[in-house]
Chains A and B, each alone.
Chain A
Amino acid sequence: MLNINNLTAHYGAAQALFGVDLQVKAGETVALVGANGAGKSTLLKCVMGLVKPSGGRIFFDGRETTARPPAYMVRQGVALSPEGREVFGHLSVLDNLHLGAVPLKLARGELTARLEEVFSRFAKLKERREQLAGTLSGGEQQMLAMGRALMAKPRLLLLDEPSLGLAPLITDEIFAIIHQLARAGTSILLVEQNAARALSASDNAYLLANGRIVEQGASSKLLNDPALRSAFLGAASQDNPAASRLGAAGLTNIRLEKPAMHQQNFMPAFASAEELKSHQLAGLKWTLTHAYEGSSFYREHLEKAGIKPENVASLEDLQKLPFTTAEDLRAGYPFPLRAVPFEQVVRIHASSGTTGKRKVLSYTQKDLDDWTHFFARCYQMAGVTPLDRVQIAVGYGVWTAGMGFQLGCEKMGALAVPVGPGNIDMQIQFLLDFQSTVFCSTASMALLMAEEIHRRGIADQIAVRKIIYGSERSSVSMRRKISELFGGAELFDITGLTELYGPGTGIECSDHDCIHYWADYYILEIIDPETLQPVADGEWGEMVVTTLCKEGSPLIRYRTRDITRIIEGPCSCGSILPRHSRIKGRSDDTLKFRGVNIYPSSIDTILSAVPGLGSEYQIHLTRDQAGRDHMRLVVERAEGVAEGRTPELTHEAVHQIKKQLMVTVELELVHYGNLPRSERKSQRVFDSRLEGDIV
């Protein structure tokens, strides 16, 4: 009935069809299946005369109809129900149907008869015959489009994507009608993207790809060809080919939540700020007495400042106390600040300090219990449950990190996978094999892992939902990147320092971007590192801590050097524990550059806010012969960002730094992945300016 020989078609310069041969025999339903842009619709349009073919011939009933106008084709008995319905929205249903028969110039009686026939097939259209077509639903519009085509009583009906955008139930209805039409003897050329559907509704089928027929034959055979199934039919299963869209409705891989097991609560008991304050005051008084009586260092230290423990009567008196510093700790090596006899000390930990003597801290059993308790609280805050598997990729040994994560995890009841730092291959293998749901590491390590996961393309095979990381600053873009590459894990920044038990003294809540700290274990003050005076709430400054129940090595106004600020007001997560910002930097790592004090983190923040820059950067400081300082930033472009965008990115980054920090920098952009990554804290600042004069 329809014969297409070696048909080619172009849209402007682009060729859409490359020599297509196709046949539709009388009474047959032929499906034309293929992906978007394969040329299916173009083929139909060529047949209908809507697109002029650039080569090849089309015969209908043995007569050549190549490039005949559409009206002629309709008179010959070909009708098209176009893709996307294309009904006339401002005309009524009835008018739309009338238009289907315009080229035929029918007598009134015949017209009415055909209308009735269409209405008998599409009962819904009859109900809505006066309604404007634009107000019909998608399914009804499809019916109208088909009805309009049927008004011409075609011998060959061209259907372009009849199921596009329809609900499965409506698609069923449409296909039922297609079956009826086929049974009634109409030849149908059916273009469909839903391959399974089209194949099960047709006798013969052609598979079209990139404008060429790649496969043809009986539909039932194609439907069962395993190679084709995998190529074209997607998820349809062996015995239920029509189910590719619907079938999995009962089998989707939504993670089944196991029933909640008994869960301990590690949150503090106090209910109001007043209760907390009285708890803190009692703790402060105890600590002062304890330190004064137990530690010769503190006794001297306090006496030098003219303070006796009984002088402290309120929390405000805290400000009269002298500061303790890292130097005090180093000076007291090997057991500084120790306030209990050795028989009560059950463990020591030391800082991973790189310079000079290590800071060593003593722990009593109660200290360890307290630490474990509030570390479990961290896990609880992050939403970790006893059902989780926690892969711990931080350092074990004399430093605190591994022990803290380990004990807290066990206390909480989750499964701990103590891998330790580094060893990426093993980490990945465990993530895959054990299906760990929580990953704990430094931020650099998390980034390294994230990139490896991305490189291996296994994001969908791992089960990590949460990443708890700490011990170094992390930029917004770095966090975003880690989360994305891990397949969308939630990130929790955990704070802590060896001097104050270890990690776990506070953690980000599930509403993110603020750290809740455990005010029932220590008092946190923010001071100006220059004047040493307290700053107003909300201002950035150095964090100073005073413990409330630490026995082994109590801390009194210990200067942590960490820069943060208090966030006022209650948190949207509902926790009443007070909050501070994520750590912005350390007061001793500010850069002095041409008389301006710069925290590396402010550069970090600025770079993070430039869309298209990556998370890795280095700051190089040099001094030229004339004695002028130069700051050169080496920044990675984000992954997949072409080199061509370098000038624009450079312009923006330099402009923002100039605007916000008031310094001019040189900026070099390098390709993604060109800067070194490490498992430990990454070195970002390289200061090669000479310290002091050379004689």
Chain B
Amino acid sequence: MLRLEGVSKRFGGLPALDDVSFHVPRGQVTALIGPNGAGKSTLINCISGVLQPTEGQVAFAGRQITGKAAHQIARFGISRTFQNLKLFPRLSVLDNVLTGLTCEGGRSMCMAMLRLPYLRHRERRLRLRAMEALDRFDLTEKANWPAGVLAYGDKKRVELARATVGNPQLILLDEPVAGLNAEETSAVGEQLRRLRLAGYTLLLVEHDMDLVMEIADQVVVLDSGRCIATGTPDQVRRNPLVLEAYLGRMDATA
């Protein structure tokens, strides 16, 4: 589905990613873990086109997407969420989710201005789809609230709804449960499991190891910009390199 080959990224000489290669299989959850500063967010940004890798190739569904602009990559069917929520606070919750369907809303400005019947029907359909997404995330009652006033947990869910409403082929999730409490975390975990069952392919950056171990099919471990291990959660958990780099001092804190 998504294949990275030798992706490297340097910021002014400092390597943030160094020769990262791995494969995200279709219909599975791949988790990307690693200590802070390991380059996880940089990698997500390189895949989604916000940053361009210095070297290496990213291929999605058999197509090269290296060097493509972020909006083109989004149109190929890759959607994402952001670590530090990027909702549009002034728009209503429903409109926020509708922005996730921007690609399907038609791109021609002239057509939009004329608002011919076909566009009206399409709009109604998109609205229903957005409402359905809100149903999924239990946000229906807040559909008309400005997104800015929502509680943090709700905002996270709006972002998930926005990322999934367009039925993307691949969803990049940058720390979907950061800052949520145990209850909210398990709720989001449940949602992610459902997405996986519904056939979505997920690439997940996450620190919450419980969540990762529970829902991931494959775990990729980054450390200092290098990919140090890839495998099932079980394999990764037993990998001494990973234990050292990431879970190393677990015993010390325990």
Give A residues with C-beta under 8 Å from B: 35-37, 84, 131, 135-140, 161, 164-170, 172, 193, 234-235, 240, 242-250, 252-254, 480, 483-484, 488, 490, 610-612, 638, 640-642, 645, 648-649, 651-652, 655
What are 24 A-B interface contacts by the 8 Å CB criterion? A35-B181, A36-B151, A135-B11, A135-B16, A140-B37, A165-B207, A167-B33, A167-B207, A168-B209, A168-B250, A169-B245, A172-B252, A235-B182, A243-B254, A244-B182, A245-B209, A249-B213, A249-B237, A249-B250, A254-B213, A484-B194, A488-B194, A490-B197, A640-B135
Partner of B125, one of A35, A164, A246, A652: A652
How close is A190's CB to chain B, nearest CB, in angstroms?
16
Q: Is the CB of A642 within 8 A of B140?
A: yes
Q: Is the CB of B254 within 8 A of A36?
A: no
Asked if B34 is an interface residue, CB under 8 A from chain A, the answer is yes
Which of chain A's residues have a CB closer than 8 A to the CB of B11?
A: 135
Give B residues with C-beta under 8 Å from A: 11, 14, 16, 33-38, 83-84, 121, 124-125, 127-129, 131-132, 135, 138, 140-141, 151-153, 175, 178-184, 193-194, 197-198, 207-210, 213-214, 233-234, 237, 245-250, 252-254
A541 to B213, CA, bound (A): 48
How close is B94's CB to chain A, nearest CB, in angstroms?
12
A131 to B12, CA, bound (A): 9
Q: Is the CB of B233 within 8 A of A254?
A: yes
Q: Which 10 A-B pairs have the closest CB atoms?
A: A137-B37, A139-B36, A611-B132, A234-B182, A488-B197, A165-B178, A252-B213, A137-B36, A138-B36, A167-B35
Extra contacts, 6 of them, besides A36-B153, A161-B179 (Cβ < 8 A), are A137-B38, A140-B36, A140-B37, A164-B178, A254-B234, A611-B131
Partner of A84, one of B16, B84, B124, B125: B84
Indicate whether A648 sits within 8 Å of B209 (C-beta atoms), given known contacts A36-B181, A246-B247, A488-B193.
Answer: no
Which of chain B's residues have a CB closer than 8 A to the CB of A131?
A: 14
A235 to B182, CA, bound (A): 8
Give the nearest-CB partner of A11 in chain B.
B149
Q: Is the CB of A651 within 8 A of B124?
A: yes
Partner of A612, one of B132, B182, B194: B132
How close is A656's CB to chain B, nearest CB, in angstroms?
9
Partner of B128, one of A37, A246, A252, A649: A649
Q: Is the CB of B247 within 8 A of A249?
A: yes
How close is A554's CB to chain B, nearest CB, in angstroms?
41
Partner of B151, one of A37, A135, A649: A37
A640 to B234, CA, bound (A): 38
Partner of A36, one of B125, B141, B152, B213: B152
Partner of A172, one of B131, B183, B234, B253: B253
Indicate whether A167 sits within 8 Å of B182 (C-beta atoms), given known contacts A249-B250, A648-B128, A649-B128.
Answer: no
A-B contacts, CB under 8 A, total: 141
Q: Is the CB of B193 within 8 A of A36?
A: no
Give the nearest-CB partner of A241 in chain B.
B254
Which of chain A's residues have a CB closer than 8 A to the CB of B36?
A: 137-140, 166-167, 170
Q: Is the CB of B179 within 8 A of A36?
A: yes
Q: Is the CB of A652 within 8 A of B34?
A: no
Give the nearest-CB partner of B182 in chain A.
A234
Q: Is the CB of B193 within 8 A of A612?
A: no
How close is A45's CB to chain B, nearest CB, in angstroms?
15
Partner of B209, one of A135, A249, A483: A249
Q: Is the CB of A169 within 8 A of B249?
A: yes
A262 to B187, CA, bound (A): 39
Indicate whether A252 sits within 8 Å of B214 (C-beta atoms), given known contacts A37-B152, A648-B127.
Answer: yes
Partner of B208, one of A245, A645, A652: A245
A478 to B234, CA, bound (A): 35
Q: Is the CB of B253 within 8 A of A612?
A: no
Which of chain B's residues have a CB closer than 8 A to the CB of A249?
A: 209-210, 213, 237, 247, 250
Give the nearest-CB partner of B178 in chain A.
A165
* Max chain A Cβ within 10 angstroms of own Cβ: one of B121, B182, B193, B246: B182
Q: Is the CB of A252 within 8 A of B181?
A: no
How close is A446's CB to chain B, nearest CB, in angstroms?
16
How close is B140's CB to chain A, nearest CB, in angstroms?
6
How close is B210's CB to chain A, nearest CB, in angstroms?
5
Which of chain A's residues have a CB closer than 8 A to the CB of B245?
A: 169
How close is B100's CB to chain A, nearest CB, in angstroms?
14
Q: Is the CB of A254 within 8 A of B214?
A: yes
Which of chain B's residues have a CB closer than 8 A to the CB of A165?
A: 83, 175, 178-179, 207
Q: Is the CB of B234 within 8 A of A167?
A: no
Which of chain B's residues have a CB closer than 8 A to the CB of A166?
A: 36, 207
A610 to B16, CA, bound (A): 46
Which of chain B's residues have a CB closer than 8 A to the CB of A651?
A: 124
